[in-house]
Structure 1
Amino acid sequence: MKHYTMNLSESQLNQLKNGYSSFIKASDSEAVFFIAEHNQTTITALKNGKVTIEGIEINNELVLIKNFLNIKDYEAVGSSDAGSLDVFGPVVICSTYVSLEDIAFLETLDIGIQRTISMKKIVEIAPIIAKRLTHSIVILKPFKYNELSKNGFNMNKIKSLLNNHMIIKTTAKIDKTIPVILEQYCNPNNYFNYLKEEKLVYRDIEFSEKSETPHISVLVSSIIAKYAYLVEMHRLSKKLNLKLKLGATKDVDEQILEVVNTHGSKVLIEVAKCNFKNITKQNIEF
């Protein structure tokens, strides 16, 4: 069973409901705007704008909906990151070019415009995506991150420098001018201020806010970055003979002490971001 998720406006929801008026099925859920069955696919539209298409084959129905609502796909370069909210592991930045042909291909992998994708799904599809799509990626390992942090670089400045480099690298691989979209993590003015000492700065950027539906180029960049992050976390876990935890939770606080007690405090410089509060609040001496 395949599925695809998209987010629509209120007017688009009403338009879609009218289009499926002859195929609507009853639903008792207060969250559901309508459910329709058409061409052996189920279309579930929620009042919050989320629409899911499910079926054995869904591409024809997806094309039908896009054409009906006059939704135009467009190619773009998207940039996103992974690891910046995790104590352990690297910071990964990926910038990816997605053509119109790539969008059609990605939809066959059941990639919808949704922010939450399971780790299992990421591990399954990231190598396939990375092999096909033009992209640039950088993995900033903890040792280098800690070195930059000591020199006064905060996380947003580090991410801005790396995003700029990856966007320049990716756009250089394309022989035409297309939109560039960056998943926003700081004010655009601050972003360019972080780059004021750089000789080359890519400035024609659209900043995509977290609350917005991301372009698929941003989504696939996130997938590739997360996969690279997970691969590096697996390597570090093997090095310590301990499965390192994701995030920056209390469980991570406890694991930090476990790592220090087993391997000494200096190993944190090689496996963790040492300026995170999870580490600094524990007064660990390096």
Structure 2
Amino acid sequence: MGHIVHYVSDDTLKEMTTYYQPYQTKTPQHAVFQAKKNGVTITGYRSKKVMFQGQNPEVEAGRWEALKAAKGSTKKTVNQHDYMPNASLYNQNTIGSDETGTGDYFGPITVCSCYVTNEQIPLLKELGVKDSKNLTDETIQSLAKTILQLKIPYSLVILHNEKYNRLQKKGWSQGKMKTMLHHVAITKLLKKIAPTKPDGIIIDQFATPNVYINHLQSEGKTLPASTYFVTKAESHAISVACASILARYSFVKEMDKLSKTAGFTLPKGASSKVDQAASYLVKKQGYACLDQFAKVHFKNTEKIATYLRK
């Protein structure tokens, strides 16, 4: 479970209070409102701080990032349908891009982009390449090695915890971090396969195209031509499924390295098991070590003290 903090204007806070009224829950002390929508708890405080907490809070937080960008710009908002591919694209030569590690307290975010030709699709399907979320780590390891042996062109980018935490303190949302990681991976892969050009680039959608493009523009970058955003893209495009597997394979290897450094196996996810492991790690090495091992803004960090008192 992660959380994102925004500081908003009085007008935006009023707008959010009205917008979330149908979803409101019991308002805590010092808060203007608290609501729960799509598994994300949103709390607006009198200090004009707004906190988004839950699984993938960047989607809900992104709604307000897009609104802020739209108010500060005269640029036309992009049309979501312009970035949805025709189904025939899934059987063509595509770059697919996916990420993992975003909901895990320990470990980095890994993003991978893969280029798959239409001739390779039948073999990859026959080998069992599909969404990594439906595969065990052992199967992922086996499939990843097969993909590498087939010399599928790919680009892998890893955002380690120290840099993740620096960017988060700088004010970057996790959504912006993922956007820039995908952009770097795709840009590197386009250079790697040049002069070949894919029929399309498919990104597993974690934000609306408008929010994604605004993130790019804030860093002086632009969206490559023929880029499309698809929800659960790894279930539709083999190129995204390959990227999903290689990203997860890399994440598991990075977790193994961190576990060796910690001296014990670090659990994945953000459950109470993770809270216990984090408290044990802090007891051994102190709070400062978390910067190397964890995404410190996650709620898990606040829970460590409770376990240390036991």
Q: Normalization by structure 1: what TM-score?
A: 0.70
Could you tell me which of 215, 219, 222 is aligned with 2:244? 222
- Displacement after TM superposition at 1:176 (Å): 2.1
Could you tell me which of 182, 185, 190 is aligned with 2:211? 190
Could you tell me which of 111, 121, 132 is aligned with 1:93? 111
Report the residue type matching 2:93 in the other structure.
E
Could you tell me which of 150, 164, 175 is aligned with 1:156? 175
Measure the CA separation in 1 of the matches of 2:185 and 2:287: 33
Aligned length: 215
Match of 1:16 in 2: none
Contact 1:274 1:280 in 2 (8 A): no
**Aligned positions of 1:101-116 closer than 5 A:** 101-112=119-130, 115-116=133-134
* 1:144 equivalent in alignment to 2:166: no
Change (3 A) 1:88 1:190: same
Identical columns (%): 34
Report the residue type matching 1:236 in the other structure.
L
- Displacement after TM superposition at 1:170 (Å): 1.2
Runs of 4+ in 1 over 4 A off after TM superposition: 112-115, 281-284
Change (3 A) 1:212 1:271: closer
Measure the CA separation in 2 of the matches of 1:266 and 1:92: 23
Match of 2:85 in 1: none
**Aligned positions of 1:209-248 closer than 5 A:** 209-210=231-232, 213-248=235-270
Contact 2:98 2:111 in 1 (8 A): yes
Measure the CA separation in 1 of the matches of 2:112 and 2:90: 25
Measure the CA separation in 2 of the matches of 1:107 and 1:219: 10
**Aligned positions of 1:1-286 closer than 5 A:** 73-112=91-130, 115-131=133-149, 132-174=151-193, 175-203=196-224, 204-210=226-232, 213-282=235-304
Change (3 A) 1:212 1:246: closer
Measure the CA separation in 2 of the matches of 1:246 and 1:71: 34
- Displacement after TM superposition at 1:84 (Å): 0.7
- Displacement after TM superposition at 1:130 (Å): 2.8
| CA shift digits 1:180-217 (9 cap, x unpaired) | 00001111111111111333322431111138833111
Contact 2:109 2:159 in 1 (8 A): yes
Contact 2:92 2:199 in 1 (8 A): no
CA RMSD of aligned residues (A): 2.3
Change (3 A) 1:123 1:252: same
Runs (5+) with no aligned partner, structure 2: 1-87
Q: Could you say which structure has the higher helix fraction? A: 2
In terms of mean alpha carbon deviation, does 190-199 or 139-148 score higher? 190-199
- Displacement after TM superposition at 1:72 (Å): 7.6
Report the residue type matching 1:142 in the other structure.
N
Report the residue type matching 1:157 in the other structure.
K
Contact 1:114 1:213 in 2 (8 A): no
Change (3 A) 1:217 1:211: closer
Change (3 A) 1:238 1:135: same
Match of 2:56 in 1: none
Change (3 A) 1:280 1:154: farther
Q: Which of these two proteins has the greater Rg computed from alpha carbons?
A: 1
- Displacement after TM superposition at 1:117 (Å): 1.5
Report the residue type matching 1:147 in the other structure.
R
